[in-house]
Amino acid sequence: MTSGRQRHISIQVENLGKLYRIGQGAQASYQTLRDQISRFAAQPLRWLRFSKDSNGIRRNEEAFHIWALRGVSFEVRQGEVVGIIGRNGAGKSTLLKILTRITVPTEGRVDLWGRIGSLLEVGTGFHKELTGRENVYLNGAILGMKKAEIDQKFDEIVAFSEVERFIDTPVKYYSSGMAMRLAFAVAAHLDPEILLVDEVLAVGDAAFQKKCLDKMEEVGRAGRTILFVSHHMPSIVRLCERAIWLQDGQIYREGPAHQLVSEYLTEALGTTPSREWPDFYSAPGDEVVRLLAIRIRNNRGEVTDTFDIREPVGIEMEYVVLEGGYTLHAGFSLHNDEGQWLFASLDTDTEWDGKPRQPGRYRSLAWIPGNFLAEGTMIVGPSIRTEDPEILHLYEPDAVAFQVTERPGLGPSSRMGFVGHFPGIIRPYLQWETRLTDPNPWNGRSSFQTGPFR
């Protein structure tokens, strides 16, 4: 490998595999010698039953093995921020543990260029008997930093972690949140060339999560390499240029983060931008009205499940009125992936306001304007109700879903260049007017004069 190649690649993984052995045979090595002798005396033949599997690995027939990773190969270049996604058990955490040399691979190799900072779980790398202060210096020394370098960063680390009062208390007395804050502060502030983070959002309050994401963005802008594992898809889209999707211990897909997140939500989590019920009588509804379809469309008329925050989102409903004479309103509810109700909307078309519907097939389309929703997964529940008397004919919760992302470089949004967590469950782009009313307000005045815009 040439030196020029080494300068441009931070992480290189080739044919990586990790085998775990599970069962009584796998656990025998953890028993005492006395236990093993007793088991051998009681059942002498059980220790002779060995076989070779398809990979040539000799094992006890009572045990079985599982490949947590198999045949994983990829490269991460210097300054890239790459997300690792996949369902529980896909091999994400095992991969990071191999990269940090906590776990030894069964096969393959990993080459890393640069100093590594990692946060794999609460307090990883901390010595429980040492104080927070001592652990900061211990972790810095493990990273190869000199004491003077750690001294320079120490106050910043402690301020970020918000554990000043307990910095000289042994870590074993920390709550999980305190340990997480200090662990992240150490990992992110000691100038690693490569930062590995596993579910940093799993512990901590909203303010701490915001600080973590802000810091990771700062580290990424500084040209560091970040490998970020998370189940929180908006964070993956926001932080990562590229993503790798692990499934059953193998790379299933990789590509641009926003595109891969859309595919993941659709395929792995079962979200879909379109549902149809072609049979009238099995479709949601009653003897008055039945829902035939609901679709999420963009402004080009395409059915899609991924929208930039600036794009309008079309909610299209098709339904059949079976019995005339009812004043009907199509509508929908919108929730985010945290279960928060964002809003509900009913058909506002004045042509049908207060008018009974005749039997037939109908199509209703509502547009959510761009620069209105925040990032995240949005879940749509279509409904149709009668106005007077109030009758709910159908409501299909969680019928379809779509993803809102905010990609850089696509024009202005309400974020206006602000980095970090942007609060709120909606994000309207409001019209502001700002002007200079007095270029020299201190010119002989003791107070300011204010007035309305004209």
For residue range 356-408, what is the model confidence (pLDDT) as tens digits? 999 999 999 999 999 999 988 888 999 999 977 889 999 998 899 998 888 76
Ranges of residues in the chain with a pLDDT under 70 are 1-7, 23-64, 120-125, 143, 199-207, 209-210, 234, 268-270, 338-339, 408-409, 417-421, 444-454
Cα three-residue angle 437-440-444, rounded to 5 degrees = 120
Which helix (H) or strand (E) segment is 220 a member of? helix 206-221
Superfamily of domain 3-20+67-267: P-loop containing nucleotide triphosphate hydrolases (3.40.50.300)
Asked whether the beta carbons of 96 and 120 are under 8 A apart, the reply is yes
Edge-to-edge strand ranges of the sheet holding 116-119: 116-119, 194-198, 225-229, 81-85, 242-247, 250-256
| Domain residue spans of the chain | 3-20+67-267, 24-62, 274-405
CATH class of 274-405: mainly beta
Asked whether the beta carbons of 130 and 171 are under 8 A apart, the reply is yes
Cα distance between residue 97 and residue 83, in whole Å: 15
Cα distance between residue 443 and residue 125, in whole Å: 60
Asked whether the beta carbons of 133 and 171 are under 8 A apart, the reply is no
User: Does the model's pTM come out above 0.75?
Assistant: no
pLDDT given at position 289: 95
| CB burial readout 199-221, b (16+ within 10 A) else e | bbeebbeeebbebbbebbbebbe
pLDDT given at position 180: 78
Which helix (H) or strand (E) segment is 330 a member of? strand 328-336
pLDDT given at position 191: 75
Asked whether the beta carbons of 18 and 66 are under 8 A apart, the reply is no
Which residues does residue 111 pair with via DSSP β-bridges, in sequence order?
A: 12
